[in-house]
Amino acid sequence: MEGVVDWIMRDTLTRLGGIDQCTTEFIRVTQYLHSEIVFRKFCPELRMNSRTPAGTPVFVQLLGGQPEPLARNAERAARMGAAGIDLNFGCPAKTVNRHDGGASLLKCPDRVLQIVKAVRAAVPATTPVTVKIRLGFDDPNACFDNALAAEEGGASSLTVHCRTRTDGYKPPAHWEWMPKIREKVKLPLVANGEIWNRADLERCREVSGCDRFMIGRGAIANPFVFQDLRGWRPAQAPLWTDVKPLIPGFFAACTDHINDHFATSRTKQWLRALSTKNQEAKELFDGVKTYRKPREFQSELERRLLS
């Protein structure tokens, strides 16, 4: 999730437990080999055996359209200790798609095959290469050829966001395609899309037949969703008393490690996401969203959190 799940958010979420694995924001690959500085910017966990402080493995996600540059960048990430390489063929953003990345590749399964094959050959056999796709760009039937391409290329697992690029994020997610894909490939399959709570997970499990799941937006809206999914806490909307203590630490980490302008925008972004599941978060967001100057924002945020 580009522009959302950076290392600070990964740290915040994985400390709460329940997450088996996470990925970086996508690193855009054109014809150039990124420096180690760039990889550490996106994945500072590379300094810690590619794990968050809580010990959760972090895969480096790459996005691009050319096999050779992607392979070279994957090799460098693996050499730096990446827990795995994740290839993004699912991003629906128009800017990304116009520049030969993300879901636009789903129009040509042979290109998916060549990319996966090149990356698989470039990294050690012990380094997983995972692939994420959508059902297709505009035709869900494309999922079959793209799944076969990922398997033939040597992918370790395949995550399917159960909508097309044309669908965007419009509900519902079409989990019913997962059993059809399973008839075509032997790859471990991971279901993704519209899993917000335990009830959604159980419906997805029943419909998709999957026992592996990827959660994106649901984790930003409810940081405790993984505890919910594992049955570690009551199946309910996140309590404000649980969520509220996370916000000052998140803001402080963004300020300390980036800058106060970044902290202001990212905290607003997170509060907006939290607002979809929590009324108190919505009230807090409504109260601070108009503050643009970092010091004024911080002062109002602290005042409201203490009230």
Task: Read off the pLDDT of each residue in 249-264 and give the average, rounded to a whole number.
Answer: 93
For the chain, how many structural domains are there in total? 2
Per-residue pLDDT of 17-69, as tens digits, reads: 999 999 999 999 999 999 999 999 999 999 999 999 999 999 999 999 999 99
Q: Where in the sequence is the domain holding 115, given as residue range(s)?
A: 7-229
User: What is the DSSP code string of 264-295?
Assistant: HHHHHHHHHHHTTT-HHHHHHHHHHTT--SHH
Q: List, by residue number, the catalytic residues.
A: 91
- Cβ atoms of 53 and 15 closer than 8 Å: yes
CA distance 178 to 194: 14
Same domain assignment for residues 142 and 277: no
Same domain assignment for residues 122 and 167: yes
Same domain assignment for residues 41 and 72: yes
Which pLDDT score is estimated for 238?
Answer: 73
Q: How many CA atoms lie less than 13 Å away from 291 in the CB half-sphere?
A: 21
Per-residue pLDDT of 288-299, as tens digits, reads: 999 999 999 999
CA distance 266 to 271: 9
CATH of the domain at 39: 3.20.20.70
* Strand, helix or coil for residue 133: strand
Task: Read off the pLDDT of each residue in 138-162 and give the average, rounded to a whole number.
Answer: 98
Which pLDDT score is estimated for 235?
Answer: 67
Same domain assignment for residues 270 and 177: no
CA distance 142 to 174: 14
Residue with structure tokens 């799944």? 147
* Strand, helix or coil for residue 174: coil
Please choose, from the candidates 56, 48, 60, the residue with its C-alpha nearest in 3D space to the C-alpha of residue 14.
56
Same domain assignment for residues 223 and 248: no
Which pLDDT score is estimated for 171?
Answer: 96
pLDDT-based confidence at residue 277 (cuts at 50, 70, 90): confident
Q: Is the pLDDT confidence value at 150 over 70?
A: yes
Same domain assignment for residues 140 and 257: no
pLDDT-based confidence at residue 1 (cuts at 50, 70, 90): low
